[in-house]
Structure 1
Amino acid sequence: MTAPFQASLLDSCEAAGPGPLGSTVRRTPLDHGAWIDLRPGWISGADALFERLVRDVPWHAERRHMYDRVVDVPRLLKFYDEDEPLPDPMLEQARDALNAHYAGELGEPFRTAGLCLYRDGRDSVAWHGDRIGRGSTEDTMVAIISVGAPRALLLRPNGGGPALRHELGHGDLIVMGGSCQRTWEHAVPKSARATGPRVSVQFRPRGVR
């Protein structure tokens, strides 16, 4: 289930950093007032950023209660609260660009960053919405940057139904907005194919987890 990381032939470290947003962002309305924005290849130099994050972030494993037992979380994690410096200047640039683009619609800045390292196809995250805190009662946004090998991100209405699938990696951006965290679920499923590592960076406003 593990494959070596393969850099994108389209990625370049020249003028590395976030690209423009604006008209390059494609919005898809969903049911119940939810929507997603997609901006493929938003981060130039994403493969080099991936390598720096894998090397420099103090990743840790977690264990959580699941039903009647404690299990390993199938990915490595690091959370940066709003008072903590981010581990790479490019993430600061990305957060500033997201804040500028979504300021009028969100009405507040993105403040925290949660990072996940999916080491291979055995690492995953189950169906969920970011409903700890204000996300359970208010419309909000979660912006996710994916670097490294592409992995599937699935979205479906709460309670099941046909799922939307997006393969995200190599600097792609997805933003989940409106009621998405309350009325939809998202997941990164396990993969039986040989799969390279991926880092997911989730920017959130204050009080949303």
Structure 2
Amino acid sequence: MFTNDPSHASSIELPDAALDYYPGWVDSETADAWLEKLVSATPWSQPEIRIYGRQVAVPRMVAWYGDADARYRYSGLRHDPLAWTPLLRDIRERLQHETGQRFNGVLLNLYRDGRDAMGWHSDDEPELGDCPTVASLSLGAERRFDLRRKGSGRIQHSLVLAHGSLLVMRGMTQHHWQHQIARTSKVLQPRLNLTFRLIETRPSK
């Protein structure tokens, strides 16, 4: 079911970054089952964000799951967590075991086809801490993942994220790099991305 041998991982050599890619972290049959179940069972939403003074719907469907106190704010929106489902809890436990990193939340992004996208950004919100680890599981259609150095307008590295693959970003990656999923007319099938994170929580006063 899982490819636990670290030799299956490939490190992406970029300065001031730590990225490991596992192209077959989960077998295709299991990935198919997860994709079908998560797409159909998730209460998707399409929030709006303000860009240049206009309210614009994000070009994908989203859902945020996590521990009760794992509230997450990005793009000016606050996301209160949905309760872990048994499947998401199981995936989290396996990820924690294999990465040695604790996670208390997961952001689900559903790209319905190639017209859905994610613009340039870094996962560097304050509640993620100084050197966040983000574990990104891809299910469904293959999409190209682009990276560029902050301050640069040029794509400096790209890789295709395969069905059942895992990309782990650690260390100073979010300080120095941005990433995107660009629009494409070539992809007609959906892709589901699960990015597991650790939200730093503060005790209530």
Give yes or no for TM over 0.5: yes
The yes-or-no answer on 1:154 pairing with 2:146 is yes
Greater RCO (CA < 8 Å, at least 6 residues apart): 1
From 89, 93, 102, give the equivalent of 2:99. 102
The yes-or-no answer on 1:128 pairing with 2:139 is no
The yes-or-no answer on 1:49 pairing with 2:37 is no
Identity within the alignment, %: 32
- The 5 A counterparts of 1:86-97 are 86-89=84-87, 91-97=88-94
Question: Deviations for 1:15-50, whole angstroms, at most 9, x for unmatched residues?
Answer: x4x331533222223212x11100012112101211
CA distance in 2 between partners of 1:162 and 1:26 (Å): 20
Q: CA RMSD in A?
A: 1.9
CA distance in 1 between partners of 2:33 and 2:94 (Å): 19
Aligned to 1:3: none
CA distance in 2 between partners of 1:189 and 1:26 (Å): 23
Q: Does the 8 A contact of 2:121 with 2:178 survive in 1?
A: yes
Q: Which moved more, 1:39-48 or 1:122-131?
A: 39-48
Q: Which moved more, 1:165-174 or 1:72-81?
A: 165-174
CA distance in 2 between partners of 1:97 and 1:21 (Å): 14
Residues paired across the two proteins, number: 185
Q: Does the 8 A contact of 1:53 with 1:88 survive in 2?
A: no
Helix, strand or coil for the counterpart of 1:54?
helix
The yes-or-no answer on 1:78 pairing with 2:63 is yes
TM-score (norm 1): 0.81
Report deviation, 1:88.
4.8
Q: Which moved more, 1:41-50 or 1:56-65?
A: 41-50
Aligned to 2:197: 204
Helix, strand or coil for the counterpart of 1:43?
coil
Helix, strand or coil for the counterpart of 1:31?
coil
Helix, strand or coil for the counterpart of 1:95?
helix
